[in-house]
Structure 1
């Protein structure tokens, strides 16, 4: 964070930004935004100053107005750069989990309700909202590229509500490497996309709608459970994507498989994993189920991290909050990985344990925030990691297999920024 080149890249271009050491230096600004809670902005700043300076009581070291002025000069993409650094360090140093030597990635998106403000309305637009769509509100579509086995958010993209998750997918592709296995739901596939992925050497497994393409519909109506087909991007696809993705293949050999779900329904998957010996049909139910990891990631992001409790009312602050929280989720996953593996190894070695256990990821995230100031601003890295490990290791939950609870659909409470938590 103290790297001059990183600091220079993170400025928004304002003259003199972060050139003088003030009450809230660049590194302190970054860490304060990473550790920001859901209380009021001033209370959060008082708490941060107390912890950063080792005081016993809260002090008014910086006002919320000064913080807001300072954050205006920070590019939201600074947190994406930090997130990339966290992910790269993890993959270089950890024996990360995957499938058949593939890193397994998931794609998904979600909608966020934004605060009411003129700046946000200009940046994200407004749409009709509510049961009768009679209230104008600003919404954002956020998309994650997520390592479903290791819980890292490799990339986050944000657009106004009019932006589709499929369009954001193409922005994620530069973070996907040849040999990765990309899991996608029914809204994503297109013949152009399959051609682009094949050209880049990216493996894929995507759920298909039975009535979209003739080959898929024919396969759905047949008795076959595993079949090879060839898809060809249309002339329109080649004209639209050919210049940007010259590697797009004109013919893509794919494998269609049928998977019987526990509820008796059959889903159709389209995959580039053609080797039936290396990738048997029996594997695909479990492989595609790994995509549920990104659903859990969004549950953490929206319900535990409570991303919609934004810390500002500008379009820039919205992106800063989203990218900062995504980065903290990745940092939490990297810190928690060795503890999770230790817990699994202990269960495998102890035959007296009735059920496996797992770490509590909400506790892990809370303690990532708790140690961040000591780690990044006081250089107490070993002490911070030791404290994190102790809490997370001793906060475990029992995994009870085959336990399923019916989903209870309830109206979402609309609290937003009306009243902040204490």
Structure 2
């Protein structure tokens, strides 16, 4: 499939015009395909090789998402969006788990336009674990969630996430007494929903989570101890970046963490190839199920 009309695609593919199927016939046959079949094919294909490269014994995976515009459907609230001119359009959000060294996608998930399930999609991928066991997952600031970090720790998943700086509102570091300079420190945060004098008067020790914030790992007493390694380093004379990880200093020092996070940008190039070079944006349907089917098919092609 390219970016031509469906009838043109059929004419180019079937050289015998006497047996040329109609566009309607192709659509009817396509509708019989199960979306999960493409994910199964991708899983079997990427696991068929044994010569993947690693860094210090680890696969470096990047998780991120990318928006995909589709034909506008005013009845579908899940895909509906509005631009700055209040002009409505429809969109899906593609989540991928990408191997930054070997340049393959190990897992995928298709979300609605609101992108509210990015972290949930990654948690589902971690639970499903259709990728190498010896992997480190990297992600940008959109994945700065306690629930996700706890999910990684409880499932023995190594991670390196970029987070907001210490003086930025909403950062997981904002209530800690940390130096305004470069550092590589271990921090402990005790998460809870309890509003007691002890938790409210010791904000450097306890983090009180809102009721609407998802968290699945409280103990029977309503607490969870989150142990993290946090690094902060300069990127310009006045600005810093922060990373949070559960990797030890014996495994990766500060410079290696910076290099690893830089590798995460390979997923941006992969999405560009997926959407514009391979042709995922050239849809031949107005049905959301067909969009999902096409997206999964293109993820399979990129490997």
TM-score, with length taken from structure 2? 0.82
1:182 is matched with which residue: 105, 128, 137? 137
Q: Once the two structures are superposed, what CA deviation does each residue of 1:336-372 show, in whole Å capped at 9, x if it has no partner? A: xxxxxxxxxxxxxxxxxxxxxxxxxxxxxxxxxxxxx
Instruction: Name the counterpart of 2:48.
Output: 89
The CA distance in 2 between the partners of 1:44 and 1:294, in whole Å, is 30
Q: Does 1:255 align with 2:256?
A: no
Instruction: Name the counterpart of 2:239.
Output: 265
Instruction: Name the counterpart of 1:409.
Output: none
Instruction: Name the counterpart of 1:46.
Output: 11
1:218-257 aligned at under 5 Å gives the runs 218=176, 221-235=179-193, 240-242=214-216, 250-257=224-231
2:155 is matched with which residue: 200, 205, 215? 200
The CA distance in 2 between the partners of 1:220 and 1:46, in whole Å, is 66
Q: Is the 8 A contact 1:49 1:59 kept in 2?
A: no
Q: Does 1:141 align with 2:93?
A: yes
The CA distance in 2 between the partners of 1:207 and 1:166, in whole Å, is 14
Instruction: Name the counterpart of 2:106.
Output: 154
Pair 302,113 (structure 1): closer, same or farther in 2 beyond 3 Å:
same
1:75 is matched with which residue: 31, 34, 51? 34
1:14-413 aligned at under 5 Å gives the runs 36-50=1-15, 60-90=19-49, 93-94=50-51, 96-117=52-73, 121-122=75-76, 124-129=78-83, 131-133=84-86, 135-164=87-116, 165-173=118-126, 174-175=128-129, 176=131, 178-210=133-165, 211=168, 212-213=170-171, 215=173, 218=176, 221-235=179-193, 240-242=214-216, 250-261=224-235, 265-274=239-248, 276-330=249-303
The CA distance in 1 between the partners of 2:241 and 2:99, in whole Å, is 23
Which secondary structure does the structure 1 equivalent of 2:95 belong to? strand
Could you say what the CA RMSD is over the residues aligned between the two structures, in angstroms?
2.9
Instruction: Name the counterpart of 2:200.
Output: none
Pair 59,222 (structure 1): closer, same or farther in 2 beyond 3 Å:
farther
Q: Is the 8 A contact 2:79 2:112 kept in 1?
A: yes
The CA distance in 2 between the partners of 1:244 and 1:252, in whole Å, is 11
Instruction: Name the counterpart of 1:343.
Output: none
**Aligned pair count?**
279
Runs (5+) with no aligned partner, structure 1: 1-35, 331-422
Pair 271,214 (structure 1): closer, same or farther in 2 beyond 3 Å:
closer
The CA distance in 1 between the partners of 2:85 and 2:214, in whole Å, is 37
Q: Is the 8 A contact 1:123 1:315 kept in 2?
A: no
Pair 193,237 (structure 1): closer, same or farther in 2 beyond 3 Å:
farther
Which secondary structure does the structure 2 equivalent of 1:89 belong to? coil
The CA distance in 2 between the partners of 1:159 and 1:281, in whole Å, is 34
* Alpha-carbon shift at residue 241 of structure 1 (Å): 4.4
Pair 137,73 (structure 1): closer, same or farther in 2 beyond 3 Å:
same
* Alpha-carbon shift at residue 123 of structure 1 (Å): 7.6
Question: Greater strand percent: which structure?
Answer: 2
Q: Once the two structures are superposed, what CA deviation does each residue of 1:231-255 show, in whole Å capped at 9, x if it has no partner? A: 3343469995438999xx9323211
